[in-house]
Amino acid sequence: MISDKMQIQVKNSSVIRAMFEEGKKLAEVYGAENVYDFSLGNPSVDTPEDVKKAILEILDTIDSAGIHGYMNNSGYEEVRDAIAKSINEKYATAFNHENIIMTVGAAGGLNVIFKTLLNPGDEVITFAPFFGEYRNYVANYEGVLVIVPANTTDFQPNLAAFSEQITPRTKAVIINSPNNPTGVVYSEETIIKLAHIMREKQKEFGIAIYLISDEPYRELAYDNIDVPYLTKYYENTIIGYSFSKSLSLPGERIGYLVIPNEVADSEDVKAAANIATRILGFVNAPSLFQRVIARCLNAKVEVAAYNQNRELLYNALTSFGYECIKPQGAFYLFVKTPIADDIEFCSLAKQKNILVVPGSSFGCPGYIRIAYCVAYKTIENALPGFKTLIAELS
Amino acid sequence: MISDKMQIQVKNSSVIRAMFEEGKKLAEVYGAENVYDFSLGNPSVDTPEDVKKAILEILDTIDSAGIHGYMNNSGYEEVRDAIAKSINEKYATAFNHENIIMTVGAAGGLNVIFKTLLNPGDEVITFAPFFGEYRNYVANYEGVLVIVPANTTDFQPNLAAFSEQITPRTKAVIINSPNNPTGVVYSEETIIKLAHIMREKQKEFGIAIYLISDEPYRELAYDNIDVPYLTKYYENTIIGYSFSKSLSLPGERIGYLVIPNEVADSEDVKAAANIATRILGFVNAPSLFQRVIARCLNAKVEVAAYNQNRELLYNALTSFGYECIKPQGAFYLFVKTPIADDIEFCSLAKQKNILVVPGSSFGCPGYIRIAYCVAYKTIENALPGFKTLIAELS
């Protein structure tokens, strides 16, 4: 009796659920501390103390209607102004509250913007490897996700292939940097070239192509690397941000969209995104946490802890003979599997009590994603298994 | 550049925005205290003190990952168990956590269930007058909303018309009791007849028809009236609940779906609703407030305050000569307009600084909705305007 589309979803997800159940069984048999779960992007670093302070301050100083009541579907004006001001200070932009729409996390924001933009059949281009949920977010609005094959040399986007895949049906391009699953940060050089190609294609086809920048990992960058702010490179850029990782708040569902005045039909896009927030059933981003994040715009989780994990895991795995790019951001390592079949490799890893996700899930077979947002100890304890695994396969 | 569907939405909403802007202008000219805004369903009664206590207790006793982290897309198991237990105690049902899916408010829950059930062209029946957003929620999934004309005698559903409007394409029926906009509670007699008709039609067409009960106003009922718990009357019932009104938390977006084991293809419906929560971009209901409401299942706003408003407004308006059913629940009065054109009446009311919503917005012209979730004083001050208005029109 469920819809045809959801029947397919339920069928596919039962495979994942089976994997999850197997993981639970492993934990029962060997003890949870002896199962090394690198499969989830659930932040392991504590939420900054500022968040708790902000909650207490809000509860003490604002009345309940002002904390828990409805507001404009786009969010509190003062919260949106605070965010705009913070972005302006960091990136020398010139936004105000009208450019900001508060969203139910980045996932909510991406659904709002795709609902806003897509007619059935419109194409959205992304670069492999990519966050698998883009498939669903685009399909929700009858769009078509077009996948540019991976550039496995350095995992910067394959721009030559990209250029050829843009058509008059291309409505948007979605990128994610720092990237899930590779941890790679798209360089300024890449962004400049990408913007140039998109501008040329806009002219060639007489259309507007939106660049959607999905940025939940912006604050998780290492070695002082610069993560370019894309509205400065390409006029039709819309940004989707989330506090899930920067403040370790994934369960609270709080983020925002930036819709600059420079984007094509900006007034319509802003008005439609406000309405889409309502009619998709989000109604508004959670109200208490809107006020919380406005008080925590300069707070940040202990990125150093993720960096320690990165160094340990990257150095150990490469010393064992694994091939992988050193990630510059996020909390993922994207490792080439010693055998071609990444799904088979995940099964073999499970026999060492190591849970990882096949690259196929991100449109890039022959690799695995290791989420290192776990305890340092978990990585230490898993290393012998990784070592034995590659030795056995060589 | 926005999608065709959103272009229509933006165009329609500009009319509402114009009304809103006019209201703001009135407030500037006459002072906010002299403008009587009865247009919004934003709770005016304070959030119970238990909510604040629960937040403080959670912050003091659970670590940040346990408060703000990801969990199963359906929500925390212990929260869902607590809700199931509470329902079982109140209504002698037999649910457990597997029957409960935490949602981003009732609006989020309805979108999840329509995404779960509807194929393009599937029909969803509702009874006029109805919450206007049902149009959007059904259209989001290419469903067709079929509207049963109002029974303006007592605003119980028009069951004779209903019976004729069920077809082999009918996938669901959505009802809302206590009702927005009438405040009417559908009686047990109504529910028994409704269930009988639906059972007969299921047999006749060899299909399953789901009854979706949208219940944000369940706890707002007056005069000790009984609000029947629908899973006990009809096996294919799915309930959408929200804490927005019962705890004055509309901005926090917290509610749940109840999917009983008795519904057709129950396992598939539960699995698909879990996935729909994820792929629509909700991901999960806000995590802190899941734990908060689990600690506040016996808390309730001061319903007596709404009741005072109801008595004052109902008694005054009927004494002035307005015709209206005395509402038994929610915080709305649905009043027959002294002239046939309800939109014109709203304009005339605005000249008395009174803002109300035309019945046309709820599929029932010739009426207005007065939301009395406002300060008692606001009602007192608005009464002379209502009195003059009907005198001038007689």
Q: Rounded to an integer, what distance in angstroms lies between the CA atom of residue A111 and that of residue A214?
A: 12
- pLDDT band, residue A311 (cuts 50/70/90): very high
A46 or B16, greater pLDDT: A46
> Which pair of structure tokens corresponds to residue A36?
């090394």
**Distance (Å, whole) CA B221 – CA B335:** 19
CA dihedral B336, B337, B343, B346 (to 10 degrees): -110
Average pLDDT of chain B, as a whole number: 96
Question: Which uninterrupted H or E stretch holds B348?
Answer: helix B342-351
Beta strands in chain B (DSSP E): 36-37, 100-103, 123-127, 144-148, 170-175, 210-214, 237-242, 255-258, 323-324, 332-336, 354-355, 357-358, 367-371
pLDDT over 90 (residue B4): yes
User: Within a 10 A sphere around the Cβ of A384, how many other Cβ atoms?
Assistant: 12
Report the gap between the CA of A78 and the closest CA in chain B (Å).
Answer: 16
Rounded distance between C-alpha atoms, residue A47 and residue B63, angstroms: 9
Angle between helix B105-117 and helix B266-279 axes, rounded to 10 deg:
120
Give the span between the Cα atoms of B221 and B90, in whole angstroms: 15
Query: B15 falls in which pLDDT band (50, 70, 90)?
Result: low
Q: Work out the minimum CA distance from B369 to partner chain A, whole angstroms.
A: 19
Nearest CA in chain A to B42: A70
Pair A276, B3: CB distance under 8 Å: no
Q: Which of residues 110-149 of B touch A (CB under 8 A)?
A: 110-112, 115-119, 122, 133, 136-137, 140-141
Q: Would the pLDDT of B267 be above 90?
A: yes
DSSP state string for A12-63: HHHHHHHHHHHHHHHHHHH-GGG-EE-------SPPPHHHHHHHHHHHHHS-
Whether residue A275 lies within 8 A of chain B, CB to CB, comes out as yes
What size, in residues, is chain A? 394
Q: Which of A6, A24, A57 to mutate to test the interface with B (most CBs of B within 10 A)?
A: A6
Residues 6+ apart with CB under 8 A from A239: A212, A213, A215, A230, A231, A257, A258
Looking at residue B354, its pLDDT comes to 95
In this model, does residue A130 exceed pLDDT 90?
Answer: yes
Residue A60 burial class via C-beta count within 10 angstroms: exposed 0-12, middle 13-18, buried 19 and up: exposed
- Crossing angle of helices A287-294 and B287-294, rounded to 10°: 130
Examine the pLDDT at A281 and tell me if it is beyond 80: yes
Least confident residue range of B101-105, B289-293, B355-359: B355-359
Q: How far is B257 from B73, CA to CA, in rounded Å?
A: 13
Q: Residue B134: closest CA among chain A residues belongs to which residue?
A: A279
> Do the chains contact at B278 and A63, CB–CB below 8 Å?
no
Give me the half-sphere count of Cα atoms (radius 13 Å) on the Cβ side of residue A115.
29
Predicted local distance difference test score (pLDDT) of residue B51: 98
**Separation in Å, CA B139 to CA A206, B198, B216, B360:** 31, 23, 21, 19
Which residue in this structure is represented by tokens 């014109």?
B344
Indicate whether A197 pLDDT > 70.
Answer: yes
Average pLDDT over residues B72-97: 97
**A220 to each of A40, A303, B84, B160, how far by Cα in Å?**
16, 6, 39, 61
Distance CA B111, CA B171 (A): 15
Alpha-carbon distance values, B357 to A218, B132, B147 (Å): 44, 12, 20
State yes or no: pLDDT of B21 exceeds 80: no
Is some CB atom of chain B closer than 8 A to the CB atom of A378? no
Domains by residue range for chain A, with CATH: 4-46+301-393 (3.90.1150.10), 49-294 (3.40.640.10)
Nearest C-alpha neighbor of A327 from the set A172, A177, A128, A192: A177
Q: Which residues of B157-182 are buried (b: 16+ CB within 10 A; e: fewer)?
A: bbeeebbeebeeebbbbbbbbbbbbb
Model confidence over B48-68: pLDDT tens digits?
999 999 999 999 999 999 999
**What's the number of CA atoms in the CB half-sphere (13 Å) around residue B106?**
24
Would you state the structure tokens that stand for residue B42, as one six-digit string? 């934003």
Quickly tell me which residue has 């939109």 as its tokens.
Answer: B343
Give the pLDDT score at B16.
66
Could you tell me which residues are beta bridge partners of residue A148? Answer: A127
Instruction: Kindly report the number of other CB atoms within 10 A of residue A45's CB atom.
Output: 21
When pLDDT is cut at 50, 70 and 90, the band that residue B151 belongs to is very high
Enumerate residues 6+ apart whose C-beta is below 8 A from B105. A281, A283, B242, B244, B250, B253, B254, B255
A287–chain B nearest CA distance, Å:
5
**In 3-state terms, what secondary structure has residue B1?**
coil
Average pLDDT over residues B207-227: 97
> What confidence score (pLDDT) does residue A16 get?
66
pLDDT reading at A215 higher than 90 = yes
**Among candidate residues A376, A372, A98, A368, the one with its CA nearest the CA of residue A245:** A372
Whether the ipTM is more than 0.95: the answer is yes
B202 chain-A contacts, CB cut-off 8 A: none
Q: Residue A164: pLDDT band by 50, 70, 90 thresholds?
A: very high
Is B23 exposed, middle or buried (CB count within 10 Å of its CB: 0-12, 13-18, 19+)?
middle
- Check B268 against A64: CB less than 8 A apart: no
What 3-state DSSP class applies to B180?
Answer: coil
Radius of gyration of chain A (CA): 21
